[in-house]
Amino acid sequence: MAAAALMSPTPFFRRSLTQRPRPTISCCSHSFKFKRQYTSVMIVPTGIGAAIGGYAGDALPVARALSTVVDCLITHPNVLNAAMLYWPMPNTLYVEGYALDRFAEGLWALQPVHQNRVGIVLDAGIEEELRIRHLQVADAARASLGLPVIEYTVTDTPLEVEKWIDPETGKSTGRIRHPDSLIRAVWNLVNRSKVNAVAVVGRFPDDDDTDDVDEYRLGMGVDLLAGVEAVISHLVVKEFKIPCAHAPAMSPLTMSLSLSPKSAAEEIGYTFLPCVLAGLSNAPQYLVNSSESIGRDFISASDVDSVILPRDACGGDGTLAFARSTKNKPLIITVEENDTVLNDTADKLGFETLQVSNYWEAIGVVASHKAGINPFSLRRNKIPNIGCAPSMHVNGHTITR
């Protein structure tokens, strides 16, 4: 008769402040398995011209591959959003960038959910035909995908989105001239319709004749939209502490015969909204106060085992928080091939990382780390002879080992 399991498997993402999960034990004739779930964070900051992840969801294949190696993958909309395209990954958490930073700092925890009540905020500056297109997309997501999109509202004033490239850093940024209008619209949805996740659709200026847009469509340069998109979602998440993501509304671009595959996802429809609705439909909720977390399932920064990001984009709040962690410090892996316009390397910032050439290597390192194997033991001549610890000094006397 086969040996019985000693303990039932722990449900996925089970966490509690008062009682940590019981590790799964499987009993067989050869070995025991007694390990907690392995959690990775994948970061590709938005609007910095990342070679992989700086365009239209072109880091999504990396996330898909990584999600098959880890038990839980935490990442953000810039990685997972591909306009009309998206890919469901049951073990992947869709976390807005501001919330991800607070999570890394240990200030917020993540509570996985089965379903959110999603509301949509439409910019009053969107023309009627373009507004109808977005509402049709929302209805399609409700009927064809079964997404819990509850209601929409329109801002009482056009948001007036402005965007530009920061001359000092080279990354894209911007502002909305009427942030209070956005706050009022979200407040209306949250309090009237009881939504707990919000998609914002802002009307962006049409500038398809600029050199920057042409470069972006060729898979070069910086995404002009991304920086201010982050400004918009950060504003909502900071104020309401619920999941939020942004989808820009623009007139369709004129067709290009020389289009990079990395940018092509944004050319196949009238809207970028589908991926946002899909991501928000089961994005984790944010637990801000420790009292809210007691007795509830959650994931905290101390559960993170590894962090993967571009080599020269290590200066973000979340990355610095993980690097300076004194409790369960994760392995930080930097990817050389994914270069950006920034120059914020770990060496300059004073912390150690494991640098790899590309995401193939990064995923191999994560697989080794999860297996409890020194990644360098998989390389040729990377394991030197074991060293000797220095002598101990006790009461002024040297004790030789």
Mean pLDDT check: name the lowest of 80-89, 213-222, 280-289: 213-222
Print burial letters for 278-313: b (CB count within 10 Å at least 16), e (below 16).
bbbbbbbbbbeeeeebeeebbbbbebbbbbbbbbbb
Instruction: Please report the pLDDT score of residue 382 as a whole number.
Output: 86
Which conformational region is residue 13 in: left (phi greater than 0), alpha (psi within -120 to 50 degrees), or beta? left
Average pLDDT score, the chain: 88
Q: Which amino acid is at 255?
A: M
Contacts of residue 182, defined as CB under 8 A and 6 or more positions apart, other chains included, come to 121, 155, 159, 176, 200, 232, 235, 236
Residue 151 φ then ψ, to 5°: -160, 160
Mean pLDDT check: name the lowest of 220-224, 286-290, 301-305, 372-376: 286-290
Instruction: For the chain, give the percent of residues with pLDDT over 70.
Output: 87
User: How do residues 358-389 score in pLDDT, each as one tens digit?
Assistant: 999 999 999 999 999 999 999 998 888 899 98
Sorting pLDDT into bands at 50, 70 and 90, what band is 33?
low
pTM: 0.87
Contacts of residue 102, defined as CB under 8 A and 6 or more positions apart, other chains included, come to 108, 286, 288
| Cβ contact 45:317 at 8 Å | no
User: All domains of the chain, ordered by start, with CATH?
Assistant: 1-34 (no CATH), 95-290 (3.40.50)
Average pLDDT over residues 328-348: 96
User: How do residues 151-179 score in pLDDT, each as one tens digit?
Assistant: 999 999 999 999 999 999 999 999 999 99
Instruction: Please report the pLDDT score of residue 13 as a whole number.
Output: 45
Instruction: Decide the pairing of beta strands 24-27 and 32-35.
Output: antiparallel
Instruction: Please report the pLDDT score of residue 350 as a whole number.
Output: 95
Instruction: Please report the pLDDT score of residue 376 as a whole number.
Output: 92
User: How do residues 123-155 score in pLDDT, each as one tens digit?
Assistant: 999 999 999 999 999 999 999 999 999 999 999
Q: Which amino acid is at 204?
A: F
How far apart, in whole angstroms, are the C-alpha atoms of residue 154 and residue 199? Answer: 12
